[in-house]
Amino acid sequence: MASHRKPRPAGTRGAGLRTPVLATAALTSVAVLSQTADAAPPADGKPSLEEVEKKVDDLYRQAESATEKYNAAKEQTGKQRNHIDSLREEVARRTARLNKAREELGSFAAAQYRTGAATPDTATFLLADSPQDYFDESQLMNRLTSRQKSAVDDYVTEQAATMKKRQEAAKSLQTLSESQNELQTAKATVQKKLASARTLLSQLTAEEKARLAAIERQKQEAAARKAAELAKQQAAEAQAQAQQDSGSSSGGSSTSGGSSTSSGTYATKAEKAISFARAQIGKPYVWGATGPGSYDCSGLTQAAWKAAGVTLPRTTYDQVDAGTTVSLADAKPGDLIFFYDDISHVGIYIGNGMMIHAPKPGAYVREESIYYAGESIIHSVVRPA
Protein backbone atom coordinates (compact mmCIF):
# COMPACT_ATOMS: atom_id res chain seq x y z
CA MET A 1 0.00 0.00 0.00
CA ALA A 2 1.24 3.46 -0.79
CA SER A 3 0.03 4.91 2.49
CA HIS A 4 2.61 3.22 4.69
CA ARG A 5 6.20 2.13 4.78
CA LYS A 6 7.47 -0.68 2.61
CA PRO A 7 8.73 -3.74 4.53
CA ARG A 8 12.44 -3.73 5.17
CA PRO A 9 14.60 -6.24 3.36
CA ALA A 10 16.03 -9.08 5.36
CA GLY A 11 19.46 -7.46 5.29
CA THR A 12 18.36 -4.71 7.68
CA ARG A 13 17.97 -6.93 10.70
CA GLY A 14 19.37 -5.41 13.88
CA ALA A 15 23.07 -5.94 14.49
CA GLY A 16 23.92 -8.77 16.81
CA LEU A 17 20.98 -11.06 15.99
CA ARG A 18 22.29 -14.58 15.78
CA THR A 19 20.37 -16.86 13.44
CA PRO A 20 21.56 -20.46 13.58
CA VAL A 21 18.88 -21.55 11.16
CA LEU A 22 20.09 -25.12 10.97
CA ALA A 23 19.92 -25.58 14.72
CA THR A 24 16.43 -24.10 14.86
CA ALA A 25 15.28 -26.19 11.94
CA ALA A 26 16.67 -29.29 13.59
CA LEU A 27 14.73 -28.63 16.78
CA THR A 28 11.54 -28.17 14.80
CA SER A 29 12.19 -31.27 12.72
CA VAL A 30 12.72 -33.39 15.83
CA ALA A 31 9.40 -32.17 17.19
CA VAL A 32 7.56 -32.97 13.99
CA LEU A 33 9.24 -36.29 13.28
CA SER A 34 8.66 -37.57 16.80
CA GLN A 35 4.95 -37.20 16.16
CA THR A 36 4.87 -38.57 12.62
CA ALA A 37 7.52 -41.24 12.36
CA ASP A 38 4.90 -43.99 12.44
CA ALA A 39 2.33 -42.15 10.37
CA ALA A 40 1.63 -43.53 6.93
CA PRO A 41 1.30 -41.12 4.01
CA PRO A 42 -2.33 -40.23 3.33
CA ALA A 43 -3.73 -42.42 0.59
CA ASP A 44 -6.87 -40.37 -0.06
CA GLY A 45 -5.14 -37.23 -1.24
CA LYS A 46 -5.98 -35.46 2.00
CA PRO A 47 -3.16 -33.17 3.20
CA SER A 48 -1.02 -34.49 6.02
CA LEU A 49 -1.30 -33.06 9.51
CA GLU A 50 2.02 -31.28 9.09
CA GLU A 51 0.84 -29.72 5.83
CA VAL A 52 -2.34 -28.54 7.54
CA GLU A 53 -0.33 -27.10 10.43
CA LYS A 54 1.97 -25.21 8.08
CA LYS A 55 -0.95 -23.93 6.01
CA VAL A 56 -2.83 -22.73 9.09
CA ASP A 57 0.30 -21.00 10.44
CA ASP A 58 0.84 -19.33 7.07
CA LEU A 59 -2.77 -18.16 6.94
CA TYR A 60 -2.55 -16.69 10.45
CA ARG A 61 0.68 -14.93 9.48
CA GLN A 62 -0.90 -13.52 6.33
CA ALA A 63 -3.92 -12.42 8.34
CA GLU A 64 -1.70 -10.62 10.84
CA SER A 65 0.19 -8.90 8.04
CA ALA A 66 -3.12 -7.81 6.51
CA THR A 67 -4.20 -6.63 9.98
CA GLU A 68 -1.25 -4.22 10.14
CA LYS A 69 -2.19 -2.90 6.69
CA TYR A 70 -5.74 -2.50 7.95
CA ASN A 71 -4.46 -0.62 11.01
CA ALA A 72 -2.40 1.70 8.82
CA ALA A 73 -5.31 2.40 6.47
CA LYS A 74 -7.67 2.99 9.40
CA GLU A 75 -5.25 5.41 11.03
CA GLN A 76 -4.74 7.28 7.75
CA THR A 77 -8.49 7.44 7.17
CA GLY A 78 -9.03 8.95 10.61
CA LYS A 79 -6.38 11.60 10.02
CA GLN A 80 -7.85 12.48 6.63
CA ARG A 81 -11.36 12.82 8.08
CA ASN A 82 -10.05 15.22 10.71
CA HIS A 83 -8.18 17.17 8.04
CA ILE A 84 -11.28 17.42 5.85
CA ASP A 85 -13.39 18.58 8.79
CA SER A 86 -10.80 21.26 9.49
CA LEU A 87 -10.78 22.32 5.82
CA ARG A 88 -14.56 22.53 5.72
CA GLU A 89 -14.56 24.78 8.77
CA GLU A 90 -11.89 26.95 7.16
CA VAL A 91 -13.85 27.16 3.90
CA ALA A 92 -16.96 28.17 5.83
CA ARG A 93 -15.08 30.93 7.66
CA ARG A 94 -13.51 32.23 4.46
CA THR A 95 -16.84 32.10 2.61
CA ALA A 96 -18.39 34.23 5.36
CA ARG A 97 -15.57 36.77 5.04
CA LEU A 98 -15.93 36.67 1.25
CA ASN A 99 -19.66 37.40 1.50
CA LYS A 100 -18.98 40.23 3.92
CA ALA A 101 -16.44 41.76 1.50
CA ARG A 102 -18.95 41.38 -1.36
CA GLU A 103 -21.64 43.11 0.71
CA GLU A 104 -19.28 45.99 1.44
CA LEU A 105 -18.55 46.40 -2.25
CA GLY A 106 -22.28 46.34 -2.96
CA SER A 107 -22.92 49.06 -0.40
CA PHE A 108 -20.29 51.26 -2.09
CA ALA A 109 -21.91 50.75 -5.46
CA ALA A 110 -25.41 51.49 -4.14
CA ALA A 111 -24.22 54.67 -2.42
CA GLN A 112 -22.53 55.90 -5.58
CA TYR A 113 -25.64 55.25 -7.63
CA ARG A 114 -27.76 57.25 -5.20
CA THR A 115 -25.36 60.21 -5.23
CA GLY A 116 -24.61 59.99 -8.92
CA ALA A 117 -20.90 59.73 -8.14
CA ALA A 118 -20.35 56.54 -10.10
CA THR A 119 -20.61 55.56 -13.71
CA PRO A 120 -22.18 52.21 -14.70
CA ASP A 121 -18.68 50.92 -15.32
CA THR A 122 -17.75 51.61 -11.72
CA ALA A 123 -20.76 49.71 -10.41
CA THR A 124 -20.00 46.82 -12.73
CA PHE A 125 -16.48 46.72 -11.35
CA LEU A 126 -17.59 46.74 -7.73
CA LEU A 127 -20.14 43.94 -8.19
CA ALA A 128 -18.19 41.76 -10.61
CA ASP A 129 -17.34 38.14 -9.75
CA SER A 130 -13.70 38.87 -10.64
CA PRO A 131 -12.88 42.54 -9.83
CA GLN A 132 -9.22 41.77 -10.51
CA ASP A 133 -10.07 41.80 -14.22
CA TYR A 134 -10.59 45.55 -14.06
CA PHE A 135 -7.41 46.49 -12.19
CA ASP A 136 -5.59 47.53 -15.36
CA GLU A 137 -8.09 50.27 -16.07
CA SER A 138 -6.25 53.20 -14.51
CA GLN A 139 -9.06 55.69 -15.14
CA LEU A 140 -11.44 53.51 -13.10
CA MET A 141 -8.93 52.97 -10.32
CA ASN A 142 -8.51 56.72 -10.01
CA ARG A 143 -12.21 57.02 -9.13
CA LEU A 144 -11.88 54.67 -6.11
CA THR A 145 -11.24 56.00 -2.64
CA SER A 146 -8.57 54.35 -0.46
CA ARG A 147 -11.28 52.63 1.59
CA GLN A 148 -12.89 51.25 -1.55
CA LYS A 149 -9.54 50.01 -2.83
CA SER A 150 -8.96 48.25 0.51
CA ALA A 151 -12.36 46.59 0.24
CA VAL A 152 -11.57 45.39 -3.28
CA ASP A 153 -8.20 44.02 -2.13
CA ASP A 154 -9.86 42.17 0.74
CA TYR A 155 -12.43 40.69 -1.59
CA VAL A 156 -9.90 39.50 -4.15
CA THR A 157 -7.67 38.01 -1.42
CA GLU A 158 -10.55 36.14 0.21
CA GLN A 159 -11.83 34.93 -3.13
CA ALA A 160 -8.46 33.40 -4.04
CA ALA A 161 -7.92 31.88 -0.59
CA THR A 162 -11.42 30.40 -0.49
CA MET A 163 -11.00 28.84 -3.93
CA LYS A 164 -7.67 27.31 -2.86
CA LYS A 165 -9.17 25.78 0.28
CA ARG A 166 -12.10 24.39 -1.68
CA GLN A 167 -9.71 22.71 -4.12
CA GLU A 168 -7.67 21.32 -1.21
CA ALA A 169 -10.82 19.90 0.38
CA ALA A 170 -11.87 18.25 -2.89
CA LYS A 171 -8.45 16.62 -3.24
CA SER A 172 -8.54 15.39 0.37
CA LEU A 173 -11.96 13.85 -0.20
CA GLN A 174 -10.54 11.90 -3.14
CA THR A 175 -7.63 10.68 -1.02
CA LEU A 176 -10.05 9.69 1.75
CA SER A 177 -12.07 7.65 -0.73
CA GLU A 178 -8.92 5.80 -1.81
CA SER A 179 -7.94 5.10 1.81
CA GLN A 180 -11.42 3.77 2.55
CA ASN A 181 -11.08 1.38 -0.39
CA GLU A 182 -7.72 0.20 0.96
CA LEU A 183 -9.32 -0.25 4.38
CA GLN A 184 -12.07 -2.43 2.95
CA THR A 185 -9.58 -4.48 0.94
CA ALA A 186 -7.39 -5.14 3.98
CA LYS A 187 -10.44 -6.05 6.06
CA ALA A 188 -11.67 -8.50 3.43
CA THR A 189 -8.20 -10.07 3.22
CA VAL A 190 -8.06 -10.63 6.97
CA GLN A 191 -11.52 -12.18 7.05
CA LYS A 192 -10.74 -14.47 4.11
CA LYS A 193 -7.48 -15.74 5.64
CA LEU A 194 -9.11 -16.40 9.00
CA ALA A 195 -12.04 -18.20 7.40
CA SER A 196 -9.66 -20.45 5.46
CA ALA A 197 -7.72 -21.28 8.62
CA ARG A 198 -10.90 -22.12 10.53
CA THR A 199 -12.07 -24.35 7.70
CA LEU A 200 -8.82 -26.32 7.70
CA LEU A 201 -8.89 -26.79 11.47
CA SER A 202 -12.55 -27.84 11.46
CA GLN A 203 -11.72 -30.72 9.12
CA LEU A 204 -9.28 -32.32 11.56
CA THR A 205 -10.34 -35.38 13.52
CA ALA A 206 -10.08 -35.46 17.32
CA GLU A 207 -6.96 -37.62 17.03
CA GLU A 208 -5.34 -35.18 14.59
CA LYS A 209 -6.12 -32.25 16.86
CA ALA A 210 -4.49 -34.09 19.76
CA ARG A 211 -1.38 -34.78 17.69
CA LEU A 212 -1.29 -31.18 16.56
CA ALA A 213 -1.44 -30.04 20.19
CA ALA A 214 1.44 -32.40 21.05
CA ILE A 215 3.57 -30.96 18.23
CA GLU A 216 2.85 -27.46 19.50
CA ARG A 217 3.91 -28.44 23.04
CA GLN A 218 7.22 -29.77 21.78
CA LYS A 219 7.82 -26.56 19.85
CA GLN A 220 7.12 -24.56 22.98
CA GLU A 221 9.54 -26.68 24.98
CA ALA A 222 12.27 -26.14 22.39
CA ALA A 223 11.55 -22.41 22.42
CA ALA A 224 11.74 -22.35 26.22
CA ARG A 225 15.19 -23.99 26.10
CA LYS A 226 16.39 -21.32 23.68
CA ALA A 227 15.01 -18.61 25.97
CA ALA A 228 16.86 -20.12 28.91
CA GLU A 229 20.10 -20.07 26.90
CA LEU A 230 19.63 -16.37 26.13
CA ALA A 231 18.81 -15.63 29.77
CA LYS A 232 22.01 -17.37 30.85
CA GLN A 233 24.06 -15.44 28.28
CA GLN A 234 22.55 -12.10 29.32
CA ALA A 235 23.10 -12.85 33.01
CA ALA A 236 26.77 -13.63 32.38
CA GLU A 237 27.22 -10.43 30.38
CA ALA A 238 25.45 -8.39 33.07
CA GLN A 239 27.72 -9.86 35.75
CA ALA A 240 30.82 -9.09 33.71
CA GLN A 241 29.60 -5.52 33.15
CA ALA A 242 28.91 -5.09 36.85
CA GLN A 243 32.42 -6.26 37.73
CA GLN A 244 33.89 -3.88 35.17
CA ASP A 245 31.85 -0.98 36.56
CA SER A 246 32.92 -1.88 40.08
CA GLY A 247 36.57 -1.84 39.05
CA SER A 248 36.16 1.54 37.37
CA SER A 249 34.51 3.01 40.47
CA SER A 250 37.25 1.75 42.82
CA GLY A 251 39.80 3.45 40.57
CA GLY A 252 38.28 6.79 41.54
CA SER A 253 37.19 7.90 38.08
CA SER A 254 33.59 7.42 37.13
CA THR A 255 31.94 9.06 34.13
CA SER A 256 28.87 6.83 33.94
CA GLY A 257 26.58 8.89 36.17
CA GLY A 258 24.55 10.31 33.30
CA SER A 259 24.30 6.92 31.62
CA SER A 260 23.14 5.30 34.86
CA THR A 261 20.47 7.96 35.30
CA SER A 262 19.26 7.43 31.74
CA SER A 263 19.22 3.67 32.22
CA GLY A 264 17.29 4.05 35.46
CA THR A 265 14.69 6.27 33.80
CA TYR A 266 14.17 3.72 31.03
CA ALA A 267 13.91 0.88 33.53
CA THR A 268 11.21 2.75 35.44
CA LYS A 269 9.15 3.35 32.30
CA ALA A 270 9.72 -0.20 31.08
CA GLU A 271 8.48 -1.57 34.39
CA LYS A 272 5.22 0.35 33.99
CA ALA A 273 4.81 -0.87 30.40
CA ILE A 274 5.44 -4.48 31.38
CA SER A 275 3.10 -4.22 34.36
CA PHE A 276 0.33 -3.04 32.05
CA ALA A 277 1.03 -5.78 29.50
CA ARG A 278 1.04 -8.43 32.22
CA ALA A 279 -2.37 -7.26 33.40
CA GLN A 280 -3.75 -7.96 29.89
CA ILE A 281 -2.72 -11.64 29.90
CA GLY A 282 -5.71 -13.81 29.09
CA LYS A 283 -7.49 -11.23 26.94
CA PRO A 284 -8.25 -12.36 23.37
CA TYR A 285 -6.37 -11.41 20.23
CA VAL A 286 -8.75 -9.52 17.95
CA TRP A 287 -7.42 -8.03 14.74
CA GLY A 288 -7.52 -4.24 14.72
CA ALA A 289 -8.17 -4.05 18.49
CA THR A 290 -6.40 -1.62 20.83
CA GLY A 291 -8.06 -2.55 24.11
CA PRO A 292 -9.23 -2.55 26.72
CA GLY A 293 -11.01 -5.87 26.25
CA SER A 294 -8.91 -7.26 23.40
CA TYR A 295 -5.77 -6.47 21.41
CA ASP A 296 -3.81 -7.22 18.30
CA CYS A 297 -0.02 -7.33 18.61
CA SER A 298 0.79 -3.67 17.93
CA GLY A 299 -2.30 -2.51 19.78
CA LEU A 300 -0.96 -4.21 22.91
CA THR A 301 2.55 -2.74 22.70
CA GLN A 302 1.13 0.71 21.96
CA ALA A 303 -1.21 0.54 24.97
CA ALA A 304 1.52 -0.83 27.25
CA TRP A 305 3.96 1.97 26.53
CA LYS A 306 1.17 4.56 26.66
CA ALA A 307 0.65 3.45 30.28
CA ALA A 308 4.30 4.39 30.83
CA GLY A 309 3.80 7.83 29.31
CA VAL A 310 5.36 7.03 25.93
CA THR A 311 3.37 7.45 22.71
CA LEU A 312 4.04 4.81 20.05
CA PRO A 313 2.65 4.77 16.50
CA ARG A 314 -0.22 2.40 15.75
CA THR A 315 1.40 -0.11 13.39
CA THR A 316 4.40 -2.41 13.58
CA TYR A 317 5.75 -0.72 10.43
CA ASP A 318 6.00 2.56 12.33
CA GLN A 319 6.78 1.22 15.80
CA VAL A 320 9.99 -0.36 14.49
CA ASP A 321 11.29 3.17 13.82
CA ALA A 322 10.10 4.63 17.13
CA GLY A 323 13.29 4.08 19.09
CA THR A 324 16.86 2.84 19.06
CA THR A 325 17.73 -0.52 17.51
CA VAL A 326 19.80 -2.76 19.78
CA SER A 327 21.17 -6.27 19.46
CA LEU A 328 19.24 -9.25 20.76
CA ALA A 329 22.03 -9.95 23.25
CA ASP A 330 21.59 -6.42 24.64
CA ALA A 331 17.78 -6.59 24.87
CA LYS A 332 16.35 -5.19 28.09
CA PRO A 333 12.91 -5.59 29.65
CA GLY A 334 10.52 -3.21 27.90
CA ASP A 335 12.21 -3.43 24.50
CA LEU A 336 10.07 -4.28 21.49
CA ILE A 337 10.86 -7.50 19.63
CA PHE A 338 9.81 -7.47 15.97
CA PHE A 339 9.29 -10.57 13.86
CA TYR A 340 9.34 -11.60 10.19
CA ASP A 341 10.85 -9.79 7.23
CA ASP A 342 7.63 -7.81 6.68
CA ILE A 343 7.70 -6.67 10.34
CA SER A 344 4.15 -7.93 10.86
CA HIS A 345 4.41 -8.99 14.53
CA VAL A 346 5.71 -7.45 17.75
CA GLY A 347 5.95 -8.34 21.43
CA ILE A 348 7.28 -6.61 24.55
CA TYR A 349 10.40 -8.18 26.04
CA ILE A 350 10.25 -8.98 29.77
CA GLY A 351 13.71 -10.53 30.22
CA ASN A 352 15.13 -14.05 30.32
CA GLY A 353 14.30 -14.65 26.66
CA MET A 354 10.58 -14.16 27.30
CA MET A 355 7.99 -11.67 26.07
CA ILE A 356 4.33 -10.77 26.44
CA HIS A 357 2.42 -10.57 23.16
CA ALA A 358 -0.93 -11.00 21.47
CA PRO A 359 0.04 -14.00 19.30
CA LYS A 360 -2.61 -14.59 16.66
CA PRO A 361 -6.36 -14.96 16.00
CA GLY A 362 -7.92 -17.55 18.27
CA ALA A 363 -5.22 -17.07 20.92
CA TYR A 364 -4.95 -14.90 24.02
CA VAL A 365 -2.41 -12.40 25.29
CA ARG A 366 0.27 -14.49 26.95
CA GLU A 367 3.83 -14.74 28.17
CA GLU A 368 5.96 -16.77 25.78
CA SER A 369 9.50 -17.39 24.57
CA ILE A 370 10.72 -14.96 21.92
CA TYR A 371 11.71 -18.11 20.01
CA TYR A 372 8.09 -19.29 19.85
CA ALA A 373 8.37 -19.76 16.07
CA GLY A 374 12.14 -20.15 15.78
CA GLU A 375 15.07 -17.75 15.97
CA SER A 376 15.27 -17.01 12.27
CA ILE A 377 12.03 -15.01 12.27
CA ILE A 378 13.32 -12.41 14.76
CA HIS A 379 13.69 -9.21 12.77
CA SER A 380 15.00 -6.64 15.25
CA VAL A 381 14.92 -5.27 18.78
CA VAL A 382 13.96 -1.64 19.43
CA ARG A 383 14.19 0.40 22.63
CA PRO A 384 11.30 2.86 22.46
CA ALA A 385 12.16 5.37 25.20
Q: How far, in whole angstroms, is CA 296 from its chain's centroid?
A: 11
Percent of the chain with pLDDT over 90: 33
From the list 147, 168, 159, 146, the residue with the least C-alpha distance to 97 is 159
| Least confident segment among 85-89, 140-144, 330-334 | 140-144
Q: Is the pLDDT of residue 166 over 90?
A: no
Secondary structure (3-state) at 284: strand
- Residue 130's pLDDT band, with cuts at 50, 70 and 90, is low
Give me the mean pLDDT over the 309-318 stretch: 95
Q: Is the pLDDT of residue 302 over 70?
A: yes
- Residue 256's pLDDT band, with cuts at 50, 70 and 90, is very low
Give me the mean pLDDT over the 298-321 stretch: 96
What are 10-34's pLDDT values in tens digits?
444 444 444 443 333 333 443 443 4
The pLDDT of residue 161 is 74
The pLDDT of residue 102 is 73
More confident residue, 311 or 46: 311
Strand ranges across the sheet with 354-357 = 324-326, 378-383, 336-339, 345-351, 354-357, 366-369
Rounded distance, CA 158 to CA 150, Å?
A: 12
More confident residue, 305 or 206: 305
More confident residue, 36 or 328: 328
Q: Is the distance from CB of 123 to CB of 109 less than 8 angstroms?
A: yes
Q: Is the distance from CB of 366 to CB of 356 less than 8 angstroms?
A: yes
Give me the mean pLDDT over the 346-365 stretch: 95
- Residue 281's pLDDT band, with cuts at 50, 70 and 90, is very high
Q: Is the pLDDT of residue 301 over 90?
A: yes
Q: Is the pLDDT of residue 376 over 70?
A: yes
Question: Looking at the whole model, is its pTM more than 0.75?
Answer: no
- Helix ranges (H only) for the chain are 21-36, 49-115, 120-127, 138-143, 146-202, 206-250, 257-279, 297-306, 316-319
> Concatenated DSSP letters for 116-134?
T-S-HHHHHHHH-S-GGGG
Q: Is the pLDDT of residue 147 over 80?
A: no
- Surface-to-core class of residue 105, CB atoms within 10 Å of its CB (0-12 exposed, 13-18 middle, 19+ buried): buried
What angle separates helix 49-115 from helix 206-250, to the nearest 10 degrees? 70
| Least confident segment among 224-238, 239-253, 341-355 | 239-253
The pLDDT of residue 226 is 93
The pLDDT of residue 109 is 66
- Residue 74's pLDDT band, with cuts at 50, 70 and 90, is confident
What's the mean pLDDT when you consider all of the chain? 77
| Least confident segment among 148-152, 241-245, 381-385 | 148-152
More confident residue, 134 or 177: 177
Q: Is the distance from CB of 106 to CB of 123 less than 8 angstroms?
A: no
Catalytic residues: 297, 345, 357
Phi and psi at residue 339, in whole multiples of 5°? -130, 150
